[in-house]
Structure 1
């Protein structure tokens, strides 16, 4: 049967459909060595010559064909070039349309809030005065006048330490200024590794990873772990750097009311309740879930109730991302931050983020956690992989700051907390009866925060008017020797709280300095009818 035509073979197979063994034997006779369908038969029949001839023809065609040359376009005349240049409008580097008080109802609805997506106008803030000399010192020179600095978040005054300046100078002489590349491409220097090791030991974590820019730390670390389909439950008052990280993660983000544990539990129950309806267990969940909070909130200056948040995190099996930029060097007996202050274990927090630009007195950011957390970012953290690494002299400055913090930490933290209490107490009493200005302080523990917001609680026709009122107050205070700053927001920022003046206490401020500053602020508030 193996020598018949295809039609005869098929007819034979059909007749033998109930005899599987005969069909298998027939198929094998065709494909076995020597059979009609075996490759050896193809070569014996000289079939390979046809294939070789076809390949030769294709190669000959490719060699002899003309190379493609695009048609040359007629060059533009001088007049045409000038016309194109005149019509070209570059994209503005800054907003060209700003919010004004005449915007009426739109201005009163929250111009920078995502609750009103059609409104995309930026508030125009006044230019910051130029500071001569060290801008982070407790007292600075603005123009020809020496004023008390309540703007800089240099809480422990490390940015003005002579020891740190000497360490920076030696590093510049040894390493030069820049690092000349990202960490994974010739940008890693021994002082980077030394600082990461020192910071991990200081915080009590397995490892820490160093970023060259503090704002890029949350926007790199959060998307490295949170992806599309994951759930992030975040405090509604988180700062813009965290908001950027949440947006870039493409996760489902649910906000709970600021520092409201009941609302947080409601959201957690809502998220986990969907699994209970579907009958899923924790092991069956592929979705990753995070809670994101700050130790001290940049937009409020108050402390996070971390113990309560931690209890809910463990109850509902979430992971935690804790931002410690303002808490590092400020909270805890030795300045180790919120975890130490609230008496929690370090490993209860999965990811810790912090800026080095506040108490540490340098530049950059860190992410601390387990070894797996840090190693993952070395390939997935955008700011770590693609940005030039931190200049070596700034890493040396951060190392020297850790030396000072380990040596004098308890003493400095205690002195700072006392001065923060004094300042908040004086400020609270001075504006206790004011219907316009109020110190933001919700709990007794908030007195430990040296970062203070004086909120404009009086209702204004628009946010623009609110900014103008506070700017007038800030300018008047500067003329009397107190340097203040407004809280400034981009229209992309979802924070929708009151406009406020932000103030920061330096450990080198004396009680007399603080009392004088509060007296000046009270006096200017009376003149502007804000008391």
Structure 2
């Protein structure tokens, strides 16, 4: 039987079996059986094979005692589908020989190779650091979710295939390429016309661009115009404290420029943080009375980064309808559920907060993070928020408050600390206080001040902080020096408020305009009166899920639809105000129209002229410039058709 052509022999030394039982291949372990003294002992010991003993016993149909000699040196076991037959074969070494049927003869080397490869791979993998952790992860994930193991295996195979495959599919031999002569190439290049990077300017846009004045030298309270070589009183630049051209700050910035260079060339989380950045963060936090502060390299990205760092899908944001464009973008990026309340109306805010709570109880939904977002001094119209009332509602309805003080920090308050100082409210009651280092400090960038947890969270989750290069060192030093000036010279803000009161006193007596700005705001917006009919009101639309209120403006999708149907009237008012700007410049006063991103705002603002008063101007200069503007307004607006 051992000589049959249909059978193959595999000889295994019994001593080897006992010495390395764990190293046997799967094929070898199938023949691991203790050396029997008799055929009966062989039959009994087959139960030790590592398979189902009952299954093995059922496969043994006959073991002939006469075919086995205990003194023989070799035992041959014929492994057949339905029986085990013992045969003898002489050999000097004691061994077990497994005889397999011919179909298994072809697969046996394959099984042996696979088992050897897997064993080698496992041994190599076990030597790798962290292999035990990976094995535990795979074992636990497979136990909890077997389908996940298959999915992850598919992803690994896909990743390996992606890395190994060719990046591009091209005809390397070039047989399908068309060969052009040099003349044909030149002709194709001459015929090619690139697409414009932007659509052509409209007539109004071209007129606005041509009307922009060009200034020679730095922007100051009285810059020199290139067009006529004369100086003009600057009521257009957001240089409220006049520190943009401060000589001491310029000298400090020049020294830092020689020491650190121009830019940091890296995000703060890598190698972009310098000692001057950390000093400015500490200066801002100490100046406002908060635990910590964090710097951003751009003022616009400060707001649009802080909001999505905290507000996620499923959270609730209740925001003022007239917030600036940066806040609108931050809210849009957050993908949170948004509810809008009427502009600067605490009563409308409370109605929205109540309706949100009713909706939650009706749905019996889980508690979510909830935020109130508003501005200190609104960029859109210069109005000022009632901060004490907002904080009262914040605590009453359990909301967090995000307050943008880009136009109030370094502007209002006895020492320029913003609305918290103006209303005598501790800054710690504002969860996230945002500010600009440009408008009040005369530098650039922005910041967020708050608790230590709030600030540390942004260092990992603030998109602009993580992915943008940090603020140049010279700007950080300029902002720190500005804060030092605020501490030592609070008279700056007294002079600023004196100019604000003087300007309001003159403008309030003009009957052809209306001013929505707060009396203490250095940002003054001027509307032509009466406004176009398309801009009189917003049609009342109730908040989804709540009944209409007397305010009726709390739908987040509410926009001035009449603005589109009356676009001509809107452009007429813009051209009228632009005529005021050009006439004022001709008389030596530099003002500007409020520039908007038409079609992208939540609610389209009315066209307006924006004034930005500065403490760098004396009261006499301010009154003279505003009186000149008054004459221009009366001349242009009263003569309109």
TM > 0.5:
yes
1:123 and 1:341 map into 2 onto residues whose CA distance is 42
Q: Which residue of 2 aligns with 1:24?
A: none
CA gap of 1:327–1:529, structure 2 versus 1, over 3 A, is closer
Name which of structure 1's ranges 149-158 and 269-278 shifts more when overlaid on structure 2: 269-278
Matching of residue 75 in structure 1 with residue 177 in structure 2: yes
1:490 and 1:347 map into 2 onto residues whose CA distance is 34
Where does structure 1 lack aligned partners over 5 or more consecutive residues?
Answer: 1-31, 60-65, 101-121
Matching of residue 489 in structure 1 with residue 596 in structure 2: yes
CA gap of 1:70–1:516, structure 2 versus 1, over 3 A, is closer
Once the two structures are superposed, residues 243-262 of structure 1 have per-residue CA deviations (whole angstroms, 9 ceiling, x without a partner) of: 11111111122211111111
Q: Which residue of 2 aligns with 1:428?
A: 508
Where does structure 2 lack aligned partners over 5 or more consecutive residues?
Answer: 1-46, 57-96, 101-106, 121-163, 533-567
2:285 and 2:458 map into 1 onto residues whose CA distance is 15
1:229 and 1:80 map into 2 onto residues whose CA distance is 57
1:417 and 1:215 map into 2 onto residues whose CA distance is 26
Spell out structure 1 runs of 4+ moving beyond 3 A. Answer: 32-35, 44-52, 54-59, 66-70, 73-91, 94-100, 122-127, 457-461
Q: Which residue of 2 aligns with 1:480?
A: 587
1:67 and 1:380 map into 2 onto residues whose CA distance is 35
Q: Which residue of 2 aligns with 1:371?
A: 452
CA gap of 1:56–1:172, structure 2 versus 1, over 3 A, is same
CA gap of 1:301–1:48, structure 2 versus 1, over 3 A, is farther
SS in 2 for 1:145: coil
Match of 1:53 among 102, 106, 113: 113
Counterpart contact for 1:195–1:395, Cα < 8 Å: yes
Match of 1:440 among 516, 529, 533: 516
SS in 1 for 2:361: helix
Matching of residue 305 in structure 1 with residue 386 in structure 2: yes
Counterpart contact for 1:302–1:440, Cα < 8 Å: yes
SS in 2 for 1:322: strand
Two-structure CA RMSD over aligned residues (Å): 3.0
1:222 and 1:298 map into 2 onto residues whose CA distance is 18
Task: Please report how far the alpha carbon of residue 397 of structure 1 lies from its aligned counterpart in structure 2 after TM superposition.
Answer: 0.5
Once the two structures are superposed, residues 407-440 of structure 1 have per-residue CA deviations (whole angstroms, 9 ceiling, x without a partner) of: 113x2222211221111111111x1x21xx2222
Task: Please report how far the alpha carbon of residue 318 of structure 1 lies from its aligned counterpart in structure 2 after TM superposition.
Answer: 0.8
Once the two structures are superposed, residues 154-200 of structure 1 have per-residue CA deviations (whole angstroms, 9 ceiling, x without a partner) of: 11111111110111011011111111211112111110111111111
Alignment of 1:19-98 (within 5 A): 34-36=49-51, 50-54=110-114, 70-72=170-172, 73=174, 74-78=176-180, 79=184, 89-90=194-195, 92=197, 94-96=198-200, 98=202
Counterpart contact for 1:123–1:464, Cα < 8 Å: no
2:636 and 2:271 map into 1 onto residues whose CA distance is 57
Task: Please report how far the alpha carbon of residue 299 of structure 1 lies from its aligned counterpart in structure 2 after TM superposition.
Answer: 0.4
CA gap of 1:362–1:35, structure 2 versus 1, over 3 A, is same
SS in 1 for 2:448: strand
1:416 and 1:207 map into 2 onto residues whose CA distance is 28
Name which of structure 1's ranges 493-502 and 385-394 shifts more when overlaid on structure 2: 493-502
1:459 and 1:80 map into 2 onto residues whose CA distance is 59
TM-score by length of 2: 0.66
Q: Which residue of 2 aligns with 1:402?
A: 483
Matching of residue 449 in structure 1 with residue 521 in structure 2: yes
SS in 2 for 1:134: coil
Name which of structure 1's ranges 233-242 and 460-469 shifts more when overlaid on structure 2: 460-469
2:483 and 2:394 map into 1 onto residues whose CA distance is 30
Q: Which residue of 2 aligns with 1:418?
A: 498
Counterpart contact for 1:328–1:354, Cα < 8 Å: yes
Match of 2:395 among 314, 336, 352: 314
Match of 1:518 among 598, 614, 626: 626
Counterpart contact for 2:316–2:336, Cα < 8 Å: yes
1:67 and 1:440 map into 2 onto residues whose CA distance is 64
1:85 and 1:185 map into 2 onto residues whose CA distance is 47
Matching of residue 256 in structure 1 with residue 341 in structure 2: yes
1:82 and 1:369 map into 2 onto residues whose CA distance is 63
2:432 and 2:209 map into 1 onto residues whose CA distance is 37
TM-score by length of 1: 0.79
SS in 2 for 1:146: coil
1:275 and 1:293 map into 2 onto residues whose CA distance is 23
Match of 1:392 among 435, 449, 473: 473
RCO greater where, 1 or 2, for CA within 8 Å and sep 6 or more?
1
1:249 and 1:309 map into 2 onto residues whose CA distance is 22
1:463 and 1:440 map into 2 onto residues whose CA distance is 18
Alignment of 1:326-341 (within 5 A): 326-341=407-422
Q: Which residue of 1 aligns with 2:571?
A: 464
Aligned length: 455
Alignment of 1:180-259 (within 5 A): 180-259=265-344
Alignment of 1:149-164 (within 5 A): 149-164=234-249
Counterpart contact for 2:576–2:637, Cα < 8 Å: no
SS in 2 for 1:448: coil
Match of 2:215 among 117, 123, 131: 131
